Amino acid sequence: MTTTSWAVTRLLRDRNAALYLTGVVVSGFGTSALWLVSGVWVKDLTGSDGLAALCTAALWAPTLLGPALGTLADRVRRKPLVIRTNLALALLLLSLRTVSSPADVRLLFAVLLLYGAAGVVEDAAGSALVVATVDPALLGDFNGLRTTAREGMKLVAPLTGAALYTAYGGPSVALLDACTFVLAAGLCALLRVREERPERVRGNWRRQTAEGVRLLWAHPALRPLVRAGGATMCLASLGSSLNYAVVDALGHSPAYTGVMYAVQGVGSVGVGLVSGPALRRLGERRFAAYGIALTGVAVAGRVVPCDMALLACSLASGLGLPCVLIAAYTAVQREIPAAALGRATATADTLMFTPNVVGLAVGAALVELVDHRPLLLLLGGGNFVAAHTSKGFSG
């Protein structure tokens, strides 16, 4: 049995790990379905492309408050918090049954904002819960499998959500997502975890938040990883803004970008399966650096005017892009004390994913002003710089 299959088998035979991963699959299915449908729903109600695009922004906006939201995960026991958050999301989604006119779009955006905020809290609590349930030697394998599960859902859930929306409308997709959160809450309730009640703290939310940020940013191994992750995600979003120009240059319709994303998703599923052994062999920093460098090759390679080259680059991007995220989360879980892990995880999320918004905005402006080919080469070079800043090439 190979090292990869041994680690995967060991994880899936572990009751807690299997339950947690099943919960990720279930809730990820509903989230991925709603992510696509929300934009289509708003477009159909209002006819506005701008408002439809804002749906993604509404889901990501609470990440800016990650350190403060993550503090909640360090003030209470994590398992009950995850259960209650899932159930609260299920109830929240049921309110979308009334959305049927342009005037109701405000309610939809409010729900998406709360949805994103709850997701930040749940991810922070879940990261700490993983440390309490998974063998520390298998954290890399677990984080890789979690990536595989989430990316796998992105390949199938949007199509299911689109079909359900076409047949029964937006409220049916919201109901589906609500059901997945109820199931995820039930799976979390079955976890056998012994958690000590956190020390009671009153009136020190700001101090606790600042402490979590300091623990992450002052750590000599974590700071370069998280910084490289933020740079990589910014460059990735810049590159994604050029996708329509790339497929247009090859003579394809904009819908061809769906093929690119599907192939990229296959790569992301694959890297999740091998990340555990790769992390043990290379360490977090080198694993991240090699992944970022591969992403740089994939981005620059899209200048080649060939369908096969484009699809190969999409696969390579799927393999390379998640590496720095898996490495960073695994390092945070190993290096940060459990009592501050919620805050540190949420801070890492903020630092790595907020640049997405900047990259999308800048990329949308640049693609109208500059030919996409030199931009792709420049972005590819930027990834190599980011790989170096992770310190993976220097030790």
The CATH number given to whatever domain includes residue 314 is 1.20.1250.20
C-alpha 354/C-alpha 362 separation (Å) is 13
pLDDT band for 394, please (50, 70, 90 cuts): low
The one-letter amino acid at 74 = D
Gyration radius (Cα) of the chain, Å: 20
Tell me, yes or no, whether 194 and 90 share the same domain.
yes
Tell me, yes or no, whether 163 and 289 share the same domain.
no
Encoding tokens for residue 225? 């990883």
Tell me, yes or no, whether 183 and 213 share the same domain.
no
C-alpha 347/C-alpha 239 separation (Å) is 24
Tell me, yes or no, whether 170 and 281 share the same domain.
no
Query: For the purposes of burial, counting CB atoms within 10 Å of the CB of 388, is it exposed (0-12), middle (13-18) or buried (19 or more)?
Result: middle
C-alpha 330/C-alpha 333 separation (Å) is 5
Q: What is the mean pLDDT of the chain?
A: 86
- Domain end call among 145, 168, 200: 200
User: What is the arithmetic mean of pLDDT over 148-169?
Assistant: 84
Encoding tokens for residue 332? 């945070």
Encoding tokens for residue 10? 């060991």
- Inform me whether the pLDDT recorded for 240 exceeds 60: yes
Tell me, yes or no, whether 134 and 57 share the same domain.
yes
Percentage of the chain exceeding pLDDT 70: 92
Residue 277 near residue 3 (C-beta atoms within 8 A): yes
Residue 351 near residue 230 (C-beta atoms within 8 A): yes
- Inform me whether the pLDDT recorded for 241 exceeds 60: yes
| pLDDT given for residue 50 in this prediction | 67
User: What is the arithmetic mean of pLDDT over 115-140?
Assistant: 88
- Inform me whether the pLDDT recorded for 121 exceeds 90: yes
- Inform me whether the pLDDT recorded for 374 exceeds 60: yes
pLDDT band for 255, please (50, 70, 90 cuts): low
What dihedral angle (degrees, nearest 10) is formed by the CA atoms of 330, 115, 164, 26? 40
How many domains does one find in the chain?
2
Query: For the purposes of burial, counting CB atoms within 10 Å of the CB of 393, is it exposed (0-12), middle (13-18) or buried (19 or more)?
Result: middle
C-alpha 265/C-alpha 242 separation (Å) is 18
Q: Can you give the pTM of this predicted structure?
A: 0.84
C-alpha 138/C-alpha 146 separation (Å) is 12
Over residues 354-368, the pLDDT tens digits come to 887 777 667 767 766
| pLDDT given for residue 96 in this prediction | 94
| Residue among 159, 161, 189, 162 nearest 177 (CA) | 161
Q: Which domain holds residue 191?
A: 1-200
- Domain end call among 151, 167, 200: 200
| pLDDT given for residue 2 in this prediction | 57
Over residues 312-354, the pLDDT tens digits come to 999 999 999 999 999 999 999 999 988 888 899 999 999 998 8
Tell me, yes or no, whether 191 and 328 share the same domain.
no
